[in-house]
Structure formats: C-alpha cells, structure tokens
Amino acid sequence: MSEREAGAGANLLARMLGALGGGQARPPVEPLPTDPVITSRALNGLEPRLRKRSTVPVEHLLRAAVVTGRTPGEVAQRLLELGFRPAEAPADDAVRPGDRKLISVRHDGKPGWLPLGLRVQYHEVLAAASASGTTPAQAVDRFGELGYRVAPARFPAVLQPHDLVLVSRDLDGREPWLPLDGDVKVGHLSRAAVVTGEPPAELAHRLLELGYRVPAELPTDVVRPGDRTLLSRDLDGRPPWLRPTVQVDVERLLATAVATDSTPRRVAVRFGELGYQVTKAELPGIARPHDTLLLSRDLDGGQPQLTHGQRISSGHLLRAAVVTAQKPSEVAQRMVELGFRPEEAPADDAVRPGDRELISAGHDGNPPWLRTGQPLQLGAVLVAALATNTAPRQVADRLEQLGYEVPKTGIPEQVRTVDPVLLSRDLDGRVPWLRDDMAVPGRHLLRAAIVAERLTVREAAQRLRELGHRTAAGASLDEPVRPGDRQLISDSHDGKPPWLKPGSPVQLGWLLAAASATGTGPREAAARLKQLGYDVPESGLPERVDRSDLVLASRDLNGRRPWLAHTDLVKAGHLVRVAAVTGRGIEEIALRVAELGFRVAKVAATARVLPTDRQLLSERGDGAAPWLRPGSPVPLGRILSAALAAGATPREVALRLAELGHELPGTQLPPLVEPADLVLISRHADGAAPWLPIEDVVPARHLQQAALAADRSPETVVARLRQLGYTVD
C-alpha cells in the first residue's frame, strides 16, 4: 500500500493546515472507534481477539473492510500500527457493494455478522444472494473469498422473486426455513399460492427445482376472495402471516368471519384446507361485529382472551353492555351462543349514562378501557371522580358493580384536585401510585408541597393520612419550600411538569443545567436535591457552572440530554468536538472535564482542531448547531457533501470523522464525489438532507425523480447508486 493511501486522513489534516502555514501532520496514535472491531475475530468488538504473533489473513482484512467501511489497505495499516502482523492487503476495489449485506446475519447490512465457525447453509446462500443482488453461485464464490465455508448443495442458477417466500415456513422470506430433507405439505402450497398469487402447480414445480420433495396430489382449489385476509395475522390482507403452527381458536374464527363477511364454520373449513389445526368447539351460525370485543377480557378485541366455556361474571356482562351499546340480557344471550356460561345478567336498565366515561382509561368515553386483571388503586378512583365530577364513594361503588376491584378504605367524601398528585410516586397524577402499605417519607411530602405550590409539607401529610397513608417515622413536617425549588426539580428546569423522577441517579450534566437555570452553584443545587430524595453525584461538583460545561457534558454537544455518564471514559474525539464547537483549546477542555470528575482518555500530541471541523460536525454543514450525533452512523450524504465543500475525498472526510469519534456508514466510499451524487442520494432529490439510508432499498419512484432532477438517464442513476452501495428496487 502506498504512503498516500496509508495516510489518507493525515493528508486532509496536512492540506487544511497547509493553508494556515502548518506542517505535515503525523498519523494519529489515538485509539479509533473501529479498533475493537477490526481486532476481534468476529468483528463485533468482543472476545476472542486476534493474536499478535499470528499473521492476520487476507480474508479478515477483507471482512473488516466490509464491516467498517474502510479499505483493506487502511485496515492492514491500522492493524500494523496496533502491533499485529497483517497479510498483504488486497486492492481497495476488492470490497464489493453487496458484501455488507452478504455477511450480515439478517442480510440487511447491519451488525451482527455471520460467524466463521459454522458452514453457510443452503437457505443462507439464497437469502444472501437475494439481498446482495447476485446469483447463488456468485454468492457461494464470494463467501469463499471472504473466508466462509459453504455447505455443499445444488443451487438454482438464478433466484425467482418468490423463492425466499416459498421456502420459508411462515411465508415471510426469513427463518425458520423449510427443511430440505422434509416433505412439503399440501397446506404450505395452498398458503403460498394465497400469498404469492401463483398457481399451486407452478409453486410445486419451483420447489422441485429448489431440491424439495412435494406431494403427489396438489391442491386443485383456486385462491378465494378473503384468503389473504384470513391468512394475515392482523386480518388486513398484509404480512405478517399467521404461522402454520398456530392452533386456530374460536376467537380467531369469529374475528376472521367478521373481517371476511363469512360464517365461522366456513372459515374453520378453509383454515383446515390451508393446513391449520382448528378448534373442535361448537361454533355459532354467524359472527357479529361485537363478538371479538365480548371475547376479550378488557373488551378491546385483543389479548388476554376469555377461556372458551368459562363462567362470565355479571360485571363483565354489564361492562360489555356499556361498550357495545347493547342490553345486558342481549350480551348474556350472545355469550351463551358463543359457548360461555354467563352469570345472571343485570337488569336491562342497569346501564347508566356516564358509564362509558367512567370505565374508559382517559374518562372520555373512548377506548382503551380500564383493565380488570388487578385491583384499582385509590389514585385511579380519585382520577375518575375528578373527571366525571362525581363523589369518590359513588365512583367506587359503581366501578365495583361494573366488575372492578376497588379499595375498601381511604375513600374520601370529596376529592381535591391535588389528591392524585399526592398519591402518585412521580407527582404527576398517574401510575405508578404509592403502595397502600407504604409509610410516606418526608422527601415525598416535601416534593409534593413544591409541586402543589399552595400546600405546606404538614398539610400534604395531613391529606395523605385522610387518604389512608401514614407518614414515615422521623419525617420533618416543618421544612419550608424554597424559591427555585419548582425550577430545580422540573425536568426541563422551567418550573413545569414533568418532574424529575426520584428512582434514578441524577446525571452531572442535568445537575449543571439545573444549577444554571436556578442561578445557584452546582454544590448548593446538589445538596438541595439530595435533601429532596434524589441520588446526586458526590464528586466532581464545581463551585460554579462554566459557559462550556453544558456542552462538554452532553453527548450531542447541545447542552441537553443525553448526558455523559460519570462512569464514561471521555475520549479524545469528544474533547476535539467540544473544542471545535466552543472555540476553546483541547487542553483547556480536557482539564475542565477532569475537574468535573470524568475519566479522560489520553490525548495525542498531534490532536488539534482543524479550521473546517465546525462545518464538518454540523448537520447542515454551516458550522452551527445541531451537531452530528456520535452515537449514530454519519449519513453517506453528509460525508459526500462535506467532501465536496472541503475539496477533499470522501475517504479523507470519513477518516477525520472517525478521529472525532463518529461511526461511519456501512458502505465503501467512492474515490471522488460528483456534484450529482448529492441529488441522487437525497430523499427529495434536491441535494440536501434528509439523505436516503444506506440500508434501505431505493424505490423506483425515487429513481425517476432523481434522474429528472440530475438530468441523468435512469440507467446511469441506477449504476451510480449501486457504486455508492445502495440496493436498487
């Protein structure tokens, strides 16, 4: 590999510094994000590792290049710098656009990679060939070049559009696959005919070509209207399809009959013809629209379902009458017809006008409905009382009549607006509620007084006692609420909900932001938060908040969450990014990060901020926020647009981004960027973000739009997109 190729990133650094009178920069010695990947045998960043005394084979260099988006030469050079003995690297063009999809477990180009220790099986080859746009034979050859062993098999010359669907058990083109040594059942052929729209005879012939044994007698019936709906899991005629291992129960038969305008018995027969096991239970003659609601425990048509034949409570009958706008006697009669044993139905006039609002979770008369599987807590009863403007005792009595289990004690004569807030663990008036047996600690009372504003700690404790909760021993009831407390515990530091939840540690960045918003010192803010029951950092708290603190403590350099964790090792890339964004020196930033209690990685002597780093790091390329997020791969379009703006190659830009701690897209970068490239890969064909994700298939409509916008032929557009690593529809 030439010196120019080995120092691609250094060339960019030298070029940019040269304009300012700088000299030649040495290659960085700072660890790169891809180092753990290229030094692990499975390319997943984990053990086992490569051995430094053994030669790293060409196949590993090639796979590592595929996974990291770097060239084989760059991988070899980096391994050499890390003390390994790489074999002579293959040419840079040895990596092909479809390789990443070929070796990924799901063949979608995303990490996890196929393990080397296992042979690539027949179906894996078919799936890989389909994803990478090759023939099975080409896929087999390419697997060998990448170091994989393929199990011997007779592969088809070319793949047909429905092959993967046809050989998958669930007709979704994915595992589990039909076993090659098993017999294909008639039901599978019938289902495949429904899904693909192809005649069973043609599908059987194709399965023979693919090496399967098919039944001697093929299904003769044609695909019927409604079959796709019947087979679809969600009864919408679209994938995912109902798995053939599922036993079709009464609930599924009724729902399918309603969806297909058929009868339950006809649906049962058709399921049997398609190879499913069907319940033997007695079925009603017709299905009604409300049947699926009646059969679900929570009257929402979903899970959990009532057990066929079980006894149905009068509360369920009454709730079902409310939800379906029927009489309780009509509901009871229908439950009998469906094979259930209802209790005596409530009187037909037992349904009251406000019942729908009472049992709806939002108390607006619309689903979802309050669930019946567990007791309602007092907070839920009081929320319902406030929403319906009804006395709490009346609400509790009515909910009990409707089949809910309600509290036996603590129900007040009148409800106050603040009651649900006091009873909620997070002071938001919603679940989770305080446990009934819980002694309320003083810190909850103090937080409640802060949130409720016109309530003292003692008054909060008194009201909770009236609601059945005792105060914890030793709780201080005379602690005053201080100015700024609401702002301090509000999640956005604006004195408004949502409030900081007490269950998780307070991160340093959040604490610094709170101190900045309230005009207090971080130590003072931490002391108050600790008094309020929050888990705050014990070290690294400065006397004051520096102007750059919020930026350097935030992962995305925006002064907001997500924040760096105190256990994180702050890498050099983050320091350089902060320096670029704030205009301060790297050493100054590193010193401040250490003062705040973070562990700081060693910074290479050559590390510096380049004049173009702000533009490179900004999402829009204008040197202003928002900044690229280090936790997500940099879009290919951002790399190409930055290269075009800087007069650099895409690979030089990518290497600089890697030095700054960013993850690169999983594709091989072109040697040069063409102005039309940005048009081709922009979602709206306008040369600007948002960019097409590299892992997505480019649809035909985009090809037409891009060809028109770039003044290129569709064939030229397709060819260039494939060169850039995209899969084209």
Q: Where does the pLDDT of residue 524 fall: very low under 50, low under 70, confident under 90, or very high at 90 and above?
A: very high
Ordered DSSP codes for 368-418? SBPP-SSPPPHHHHHHHHHHHT--HHHHHHHHHHTT----SS---SS--TT
Contacts of 299 (CB under 8 A, 6+ apart): 293, 319, 320, 323, 367, 369
Q: Determine the Cα–Cα distance for residues 199 and 473; give it in Å rounded to an integer.
A: 77
Q: For residue 671, which phi and psi values (nearest 5 degrees)? A: -65, -35
Tell me how crowded residue 354 is: count the other CB atoms within 10 A of its CB: 15
Residue 178 tokens, joined: 């039909």
Q: Determine the Cα–Cα distance for residues 45 and 68; give it in Å rounded to an integer.
A: 11
Tell whether the model's pLDDT for residue 475 goes beyond 50.
yes
Instruction: Give the H/E segment covering residue 277.
Output: strand 277-278
Tell whether the model's pLDDT for residue 23 goes beyond 70.
no
Tell whether the model's pLDDT for residue 12 goes beyond 60.
no
Ordered DSSP codes for 654-714? HHHHHHTTPPPPSSPPPSS--HHHHHHHBTTSSSSSSBPPTTSEEPHHHHHHHHHHHT--H
* Of the candidates 296, 355, 297, the residue with the CA atom closest to the CA atom of residue 323: 355
β-sheet bridge partners, residue 369? 360
Specify the residue for token string 């509620």.
433
- The pLDDT tens digits for 388-424 are 999 999 999 999 999 999 998 889 999 999 999 999 9
* Of the candidates 622, 448, 444, 656, the residue with the CA atom closest to the CA atom of residue 534: 444
What's residue 30's pLDDT?
A: 64
Rg (C-alpha) for the chain, rounded Å, is 33
Q: Determine the Cα–Cα distance for residues 613 and 617; give it in Å rounded to an integer.
A: 6
Q: What is the phi-psi region of residue 370: left when phi exceeds 0, alpha when psi lies from -120 to 50, beta otherwise?
A: beta
Tell whether the model's pLDDT for residue 247 goes beyond 70.
yes
Q: For residue 236, which phi and psi values (nearest 5 degrees)? A: -120, 5
* Of the candidates 454, 442, 440, 441, the residue with the CA atom closest to the CA atom of residue 486: 454
Q: Determine the Cα–Cα distance for residues 508 and 514; give it in Å rounded to an integer.
A: 10
Tell whether the model's pLDDT for residue 9 goes beyond 80.
no
- The pLDDT tens digits for 588-603 are 999 999 888 888 877 7
* Of the candidates 621, 412, 597, 416, the residue with the CA atom closest to the CA atom of residue 511: 597
Q: What is the average pLDDT score of the chain?
A: 89
241 in helix, strand or coil?
strand
Residue 656 tokens, joined: 């600089």
What's residue 70's pLDDT?
A: 86
Identity at 434, one-letter amino acid code: L
Residue 675 tokens, joined: 């102005």
662-700 b/e (C-beta count within 10 Å ≥ 16 → b): bbbbbbbbbeebeebbbbbbbeebebebebbbbbeebee
Write the burial class of residue 48 (CB in 10 Å: 0-12 exposed, 13-18 middle, 19+ buried).
exposed
Which 8-state DSSP code applies to residue 505?
A: P
* Of the candidates 624, 626, 637, the residue with the CA atom closest to the CA atom of residue 664: 637
Tell whether the model's pLDDT for residue 4 goes beyond 60.
no
- The pLDDT tens digits for 505-518 are 899 999 999 999 99
Tell whether the model's pLDDT for residue 454 goes beyond 50.
yes
Tell whether the model's pLDDT for residue 227 goes beyond 90.
yes
553 within 8 A of 564, measured Cβ to Cβ: yes
Tell whether the model's pLDDT for residue 606 goes beyond 80.
no
Identity at 368, one-letter amino acid code: P
Contacts of 216 (CB under 8 A, 6+ apart): none
- The pLDDT tens digits for 676-708 are 999 999 999 999 999 999 888 899 899 999 999
Tell whether the model's pLDDT for residue 24 goes beyond 70.
no
What percent of the chain is modeled with pLDDT above 90? 61
Contacts of 435 (CB under 8 A, 6+ apart): none
- Which residues of 580-674 form beta strands (DSSP E)? 599-600
Distances (CA, A) of 198 to 162, 205, 209, 276, 455: 9, 11, 16, 20, 72
Q: Determine the Cα–Cα distance for residues 73 and 438; give it in Å rounded to an integer.
A: 64
76 within 8 A of 52, measured Cβ to Cβ: no
Per-residue pLDDT, averaged over 361-381, amounts to 91
Tell whether the model's pLDDT for residue 71 goes beyond 80.
yes
Q: Determine the Cα–Cα distance for residues 556 and 628; give it in Å rounded to an integer.
A: 7
Tell whether the model's pLDDT for residue 435 goes beyond 70.
yes
Residue 448 tokens, joined: 């409640």
What percent of the chain is modeled with pLDDT above 70? 95
